[in-house]
Amino acid sequence: MSEDSSRPATTDRPVLLFDGVCNLCNGLVQWVIERDPEGRFRFSALQSDAGQRLLEAHALPTEDFDTFVLVDGENYYTKSTAALRVLKGLGLPYSALYPAVVLPRFVRDRIYDFVADHRYGWFGKRESCMVPDESLESRFLE
């Protein structure tokens, strides 16, 4: 299946799906939130009901929590492409890294997969998904 999908999106803004029990992933979501005061991005744990519905809507595996998924309009992006598109959406200086998208995806994703395979050992794992505080609640899908 190609990375882009023609299935309809169920959100009005790009949604970053992430592993909700991964400390690295939660830290990266917090990093994006701090650099996105306009609220361009919304978030959902892959394991959540909303995350599972978005995965199903785009015919993506619902048991694979080893990747970021960016759902943007009718398209979705995974792994390194999702990460680069988030950086692009944050504007300068972060979007300056987007040209790395011209590197072959298998090269970018090999690096991504290496980090994903070791993330729990390096950064740890939570017992349950992060619950956003009231100030961030509107940024997360239920």
Task: Name the strands in the sheet holding 75-78, side by side, starting at the edge strand that comes first in the sequence.
Answer: 42-45, 15-18, 69-72, 75-78
Burial class (CB in 10 A: 0-12, 13-18, 19+), 25: buried
CB neighbours of residue 10 within 10 Å? 13
| Confidence at residue 129, expressed as pLDDT on a 0 to 100 scale | 63
Among candidate residues 36, 69, 41, 32, the one with its CA nearest the CA of residue 53: 69
Please report, in tens digits, the pLDDT of each residue of the chain (142 residues total): 344 443 444 568 899 999 888 888 988 999 999 999 899 999 999 999 999 999 999 989 888 788 889 999 889 999 999 999 999 999 999 999 999 999 999 999 999 999 988 888 898 887 766 666 676 778 888 7
| Confidence at residue 131, expressed as pLDDT on a 0 to 100 scale | 66
- pTM of the complete model: 0.84
The token pair that represents 62 in the structure block: 């619902």
| Confidence at residue 78, expressed as pLDDT on a 0 to 100 scale | 94
How far, in Å, are 62, 127, 137 from residue 131 at the CA level?
20, 12, 8
| Confidence at residue 11, expressed as pLDDT on a 0 to 100 scale | 67
- Amino acid residing at 115: V
How far, in Å, are 4, 46, 80, 116, 131 from residue 66 at the CA level?
18, 9, 12, 6, 20
For the chain, what are the domain ranges? 15-129
